[in-house]
Amino acid sequence: MLDLASLASVEAFATDFAGRHGCLDILINNAAVMALPTRQTTADGFEMQIGTNFLGHFALTARLLPLLCKSAAPRVIQLSSLAHRRGKMNFDDLQGERGYNAWSAYAQSKLAMLIFALELQRRSDAQGWGLTRLAAHPGWATTDLIANGPATGGSKLLWRMTHIVAPLFSQSPAAGALPTLYAATAPDAEKACYYGPNGFYELKGAPSRSKIVGEANDPAVAARLWDVAERLTGVSFSGGR
């Protein structure tokens, strides 16, 4: 059992996993909640989206890093989203305590995941952890993410519009998983790259390199986010080969 919305669960899982396995070859940080209509919090008091989508994965990766470093060619895949393009790291109100907006919180959490991916590669290269860090997004995959996120706010118009336009612009969950699987397994997947669908606006299509925009390209923002994440989660990264 692993609940990314609980740091205690993350620690218990990592401890149990380390007791049963000598190394870890591939880690895919995939869990997410999207655009919850009302502000909710994790077991540790974090806003649910930044807590689950980013901080839980940050803590999990840190705790599993020693096992990753024991693999011959470890890969860590961070799941981001097209939403990162309109995301901004609001360090003054990271948890949405003073002003919560469902979609802004989601975009921020997915921007954080892409920043995390790029900064993890920088630190791996500097520290000699030997990681191949990649990121991916599914485009618009017809999973239950909307049904369990924005649709829970009772927006009948959103739900109706989703069903109308989905056949034109979305793809199946299986197709949406392909960029992640490509990043995790393809021999020619490039270190520090971001993969998504190759169709219109990267909504659907075959796996291909995707655009990284905005603050995701700013190392100063990445360093600040890393420091904040270590302080909030109480974990730090230490590996070694």
- Catalytic residue IDs: 106
Instruction: Give the integer Cα–Cα distance in Å for 90 and 96.
Output: 9
Closest CA to 138 of 81, 221, 54: 81
Cα separation of 26 and 45, whole Å?
29
Nearest to 58 by CA among 123, 103, 138, 125: 123
- Residue identified by tokens 């923002």 is 221
For the four alpha carbons of 175, 205, 215 and 105, in that order, the dihedral sign comes to: negative
59 within 8 A of 10, measured Cβ to Cβ: yes
